[in-house]
């Protein structure tokens, strides 16, 4: 059976408790949500962190505290901190998690208009800087691509030697300013990457489930979680990240796929096994 990696993006930087009371802010809440996701089948926890009042931060100390607490409960899971942070943060702020003992991190591959005056800036030089930092610390990058131009830039920087293989993409679809979360656009992106590259798909809001299922049908992997979607169905809030993971894990098994363990995910992505 083919194996599918499930990533749980358990908090993001934008969603709040006013949107869903289960969104984690405190260390204890992050552990609760991470454990619920891992117990349901997640191999990777994509991690943004918050202060206790919900303010997003890239503070190295806060990341260290939450990562250590999650590892106490989920020692095998791959923890993938975000280097995207939140709009308006400097490169120095965003790169703080790479100073920790981590094995994987997100690497955003282009600039995006998030709406109004909000611009998520990722210049070519910034992407090179982030990639070189990850190379120097043996951190596996997940290449976050919101549209086709981001894929092209990542491939160009890979050809120049800045981004090391094997390549692993995350196609983030349905974000304002990026490509729409449609089968047409996802197929276009999948056909735009090398055959030996792997990919995950993140669909926003109500498109999460559709994009997840199509990703699996195309031989890819999936991301679920509160960062992207807070609902189980229209008008019904998800009670935990684990509930979202459990649903996609069940569908994967019904498609005759095996849900990958963290160590199997490391093997699929060409990462070193943890000691």
Please say whether the beta carbons of 241 and 225 come within 8 A: yes
Q: What is the pLDDT of residue 275?
A: 58
Q: What is the pLDDT of residue 88?
A: 86
Q: What is the pLDDT of residue 86?
A: 83
Q: What is the pLDDT of residue 1?
A: 60
Domain boundaries, the chain: 3-269
Q: What is the pLDDT of residue 274?
A: 66
Burial class, 124, CB count within 10 angstroms (exposed 0-12 / middle 13-18 / buried 19+): middle
Q: What is the pLDDT of residue 242?
A: 98
Q: What is the pLDDT of residue 115?
A: 83
Q: What is the pLDDT of residue 134?
A: 98
C-alpha 15/C-alpha 34 separation (Å) is 16
Cβ neighbours of 133 (radius 10 Å): 18
Q: What contacts 198, CB < 8 A, 6 or more positions away? A: 166, 167, 168, 169, 220, 221, 268, 269
Check if CATH label 3.40.50.720 holds for domain 3-269. Answer: no
Instruction: Give me the average pLDDT of each 10-residue run along the chain (275 residues).
Output: 94 96 98 98 98 97 98 98 91 96 97 90 97 97 98 98 97 96 97 97 97 98 98 96 98 98 97 73
Q: What contacts 216, CB < 8 A, 6 or more positions away? A: 4, 222, 251, 252, 255, 257
């Amino acid at each position: 059976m083919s194996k599918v990696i499930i990533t749980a993006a358990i908090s993001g930087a934008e969603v709040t408790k006013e949107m869903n009371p289960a969104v984690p802010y405190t260390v204890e809440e992050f552990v609760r949500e991470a454990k619920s996701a891992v117990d349901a089948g997640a191999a990777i926890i994509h991690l943004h962190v918050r202060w206790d009042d919900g303010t997003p931060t890239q503070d190295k100390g806060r990341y260290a505290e939450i990562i250590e607490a999650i590892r106490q409960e989920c020692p095998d899971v791959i923890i993938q901190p975000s280097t995207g942070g939140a709009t308006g943060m400097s490169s120095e702020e965003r790169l703080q998690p790479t100073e920790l003992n981590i094995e994987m991190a997100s690497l955003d591959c282009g600039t995006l208009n998030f709406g109004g005056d909000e611009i998520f800036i990722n210049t070519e030089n910034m992407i090179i800087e982030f990639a070189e930092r990850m190379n120097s610390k043996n951190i596996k990058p997940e290449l976050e691509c919101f549209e086709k131009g981001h894929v092209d830039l990542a491939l160009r920087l890979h050809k120049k030697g800045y981004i090391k293989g094997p390549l692993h993409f995350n196609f983030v679809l349905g974000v304002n300013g990026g490509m729409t979360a449609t089968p047409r656009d996802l197929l276009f992106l999948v056909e735009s990457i090398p055959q030996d590259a792997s990919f995950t798909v993140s669909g926003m809001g109500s498109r999460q489930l559709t994009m997840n299922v199509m990703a699996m049908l195309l031989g890819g992997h999936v991301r679920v979680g509160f960062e992207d979607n807070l609902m189980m169905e229209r008008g019904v809030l998800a009670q935990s990240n684990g509930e979202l993971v459990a649903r996609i894990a069940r569908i994967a098994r019904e498609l005759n796929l095996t849900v990958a363990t963290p160590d199997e995910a490391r093997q699929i992505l060409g990462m070193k096994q943890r000691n």
